[in-house]
Amino acid sequence: MSAAVSSGGTPPGPPESRRIALLRHAKADWPQVSDHERPLAERGRQDASTAGRRLAETGIAFDLALCSTASRTRETWKLAVHELPHRPRTVYEERLYDASLGDLIALLNETPDEVNDLLVIGHNPGVHALADALAGKAEGDTLARMTKSGFPTAALAVVGFSGSWKSVEHGVGTLLEYWASHD
């Protein structure tokens, strides 16, 4: 009998399987406002809904969505979430705006372990850098397609990994899916 069982505990099971979906905001307009307040362009509003349908097609029931506080990310999420069969709890996170790769990994490391599937709605270059950094492996041609397209607006990457959110680091996951409406 293992020590965990003999002491009345439960034997440790396999590490939790988790997924992170990274969605770049849709195409923004360039009115005379601060960068943080830029709204979506007409094409962006259409692409945000399309990205929402693509998120729904993944079949992932997200436990949590972290969305940048910038207008274009909030608007992208507002349009995309209507396409999902299940609305996840949403946290608007200031640190996602203009976040570096290190900032994004630190944010993921703070995710509670009861969250299995996380959606992050953010900005480039951060979301592309994060998808690229986490993907130690890739299924099919997903990495080649992501590399070729450069993660355009409304692009979506899904990375799977096993273990705790505190263990998220470079190369920990597998790029499971990549989609962009305008490759």
Per-residue pLDDT reduced to its tens digit, 18-65: 999 999 999 999 999 999 999 999 999 999 999 999 999 999 999 999
Average pLDDT of the residues in 12-21: 78
Q: What is the predicted pLDDT for the residue at 162?
A: 95
Measured distance CA(21)–CA(134) in Å, rounded = 12
Q: What is the pLDDT of residues 61-80, one digit of tens each?
A: 999 999 999 999 999 999 99
Quick one: tokens of 98? 């203009």
Question: Which residues are annotated as part of the binding site?
Answer: 72
Q: Which residues are annotated as a binding site for substrate?
A: 72
The pLDDT assigned to 16 comes to: 80
pTM of the model: 0.91
CB 152 within 8 A of CB 48: no
Helix (H, G, I), strand (E, B) or coil at 119: strand
Q: Helix axis angle, 126-134 relative to 101-109, nearest 10°?
A: 60
Dihedrals φ, ψ of 158, to 5°? -120, 125
Domains and CATH numbers, the chain: 17-179 (3.40.50.1240)
For residues 53 and 33, what is the distance between their CA atoms, to the nearest angstrom? 30
